[in-house]
Amino acid sequence: MRKGQAESEVLKQCLEYLKLRGFYVWRNNSGAVKNGKLRFGLPGSSDILGILPNGQFLAVECKKENGGKLSDKQVEFLSRIKENGGVAICVHSVNELEKIITSTFTSTKA
């Protein structure tokens, strides 16, 4: 069985793809310093955030190609984005993202 890409590589490729498609997106960091006393970002928030050409909020959570799973906080974050009219996506590869973007946003500049 093929090992697949690490989450960091999937994230890098997805961010690059979205920027090449003309989406206004950025890397969203969240986590904690090793001692756990200093936290930054919103727990569970997606790896990539942005604004779609139609004004909708975009959240893309990237996972490793084989076996990456959402945490409970990530599920909650993506659900809240959808509930509020945004687009929330979890992907395991740039190919998966491309299929979603192509089928959903065909009018977006290439």
Mean pLDDT by 10 residues, the chain (110 residues): 82 97 93 76 94 94 90 97 97 96 66
Tell me, what's the pLDDT at 106? 62
**CA distances (Å), 60 to each of 10, 39, 94, 106, in order?**
11, 21, 11, 18
User: pLDDT value at position 108?
Assistant: 44
The CATH number for 77's domain is 3.40.1350.10
Instruction: Evaluate whether residue 45 is within a structural domain.
Output: yes
In a domain, 59, yes or no: yes
Number of structural domains (the chain) is 1
* Confidence (pTM): 0.86
For position 37, what pLDDT does the model report? 78
Of the chain, the end-to-end C-alpha distance in Å amounts to 34
Full residue range of the structural domain in which residue 53 is found: 7-104
SS3 61: strand
Q: What is the pLDDT of residue 58?
A: 97
- Residue listed under structure tokens 């928030």: 45
